[in-house]
Amino acid sequence: MKLPRRNFLHLAAGAAVLPAVSRIATAQAYPSRSVRIIVGFAAGGTVDVLARLMGQWLSERLGRQFVIENRPGAGTNIATEAVVKAPPDGYTLLFITTTNAVNTTLYDKLNFNFIRDIAPVAGFTRVPNVIVVNPSVLATTVPELIAHAKANPGKLSMASGGIATPGHVFGELFKMMTGINMTLLPYRGGASVLTDLLAGQVQVCFYPTPAAIEYIRASKLRALAVTTGARSEAPSQATRRARGKASARPRTRRLRSSTSSTTRSTQPSRTPI
């Protein structure tokens, strides 16, 4: 008996399944044992936290353990390939992010075809990014950051959670749009980026808003702009509170050319819908 798509959405929303859920499994029988959720980033970052929250929710709801397994490296391609090669029984899931979509055009040769091998099941969150700088950077607005970077070409370091991550793509687009030169420093996950950004080892980052907001409120990071099509009040309000000027006009701007990052999930491509 085939696993109906609608039932699978309820059972594994926010995760991704590879090539086919067992054709003899039923919605009532799944899962009959623990399930792995493979994450292509190091522990402690935004994606890892989201995956663990979803895994905990699924474990409590379905009565089986959904275990998070971190496999960082190669811009999430290591994790994706591991799931592609796993038995197609629905017990090895992949946590998909925007990076997986970017990789389909960034890499000429991969050991899998993401579009063919993995089909979307459900998206469960959309995470906009915010341009944040270490407070030591002499810029409180985007124009000031551009002017500072042009006056010091190559001296500002721009961190990202890895190649092809939203922070990397947004940063490269920002550099192209403004004609500035910032040195890219790719990490293997967002947690390490945040550590070095707070310590002043790197100066600029396009970072997920939920993960950065408390540091903005505490004046440990300075927010300059968001990557959504409309103004985001969260960083603006946090910046105003940090400055002690609750009535001040929001300083956090929006970048029209950028888009928010999303996490998606997938289901077997060989299972008829």
CATH number, domain of 194, equals 3.40.190.10
Would residue 84 count as lying in a domain?
yes
Write the pLDDT tens digit of every residue in 38-75: 999 989 888 898 999 999 999 999 999 999 999 998 88
Provide the 8-state DSSP code for 97: E
| Number of other CB atoms surrounding residue 16 within 10 Å | 26
- The parent domain of residue 145 ranges over 127-254
**116 and 175 together in one domain:** no
140 and 235 both lie in a single domain: yes
Q: Is residue 77 part of a domain?
A: yes
Please indicate, yes or no, whether residues 49 and 153 belong to a single structural domain of this protein.
no
Report the amino acid identity of residue 157.
S
Whether residues 99 and 203 share a domain: the answer is no
- For the segment 18-31, the average pLDDT, to the nearest whole number, is 54
Question: pLDDT at position 21, please?
Answer: 41
pLDDT of residue 244: 46
Co-location of 146 and 45 in the same domain: no
Give the pLDDT confidence score for residue 157 in this predicted structure: 96
Residue 97 has pLDDT above 60, yes or no: yes
Start-to-end CA distance of the chain, whole Å, equals 13
Phi and psi at residue 136, in whole multiples of 5°? -75, -15
CATH number of the domain residue 115 falls in:
3.40.190.150
Co-location of 149 and 191 in the same domain: yes
User: Partners of 37 in the beta sheet?
Assistant: 68, 93
Task: Mark whether 135 and 229 lie in a shared domain.
Answer: yes
Name the domain count of the chain.
2
131 plus 207 within the same structural domain: yes
Query: Which range (148-157, 205-214, 252-261) has the least confidence?
Result: 252-261
pLDDT (tens digit, 9 = 90+) per residue, 212-268?
Answer: 999 999 999 999 999 887 777 666 555 444 444 433 333 445 554 333 333 333 333
Within a domain: 273: no
- Give me 170's structure tokens: 């947004």
For residue 135, tell me if it sits in a domain.
yes
- Give Cα separations from 58 to 22, 45, 211, 240 (angstroms): 19, 20, 23, 38
Shared domain check, 136 and 102 = no
Q: How many residues does the chain have?
A: 273
In 190-238 the beta strands, taken as DSSP E runs, fall at: 204-208, 222-226
Statement to judge: residues 206 and 95 lie in one domain:
no
Same domain for 240 and 138, yes or no, is yes
Cα separation, 267 vs 21, whole angstroms: 8
140 occurs within a structural domain: yes
**Claim to verify: residue 82 and residue 201 sit in the same structural domain:** no
Find the helix or strand (DSSP H, E) in which 192 lies. helix 190-199
Does the residue 214 lie in any domain?
yes
Tell me whether residue 141 is in a domain: yes
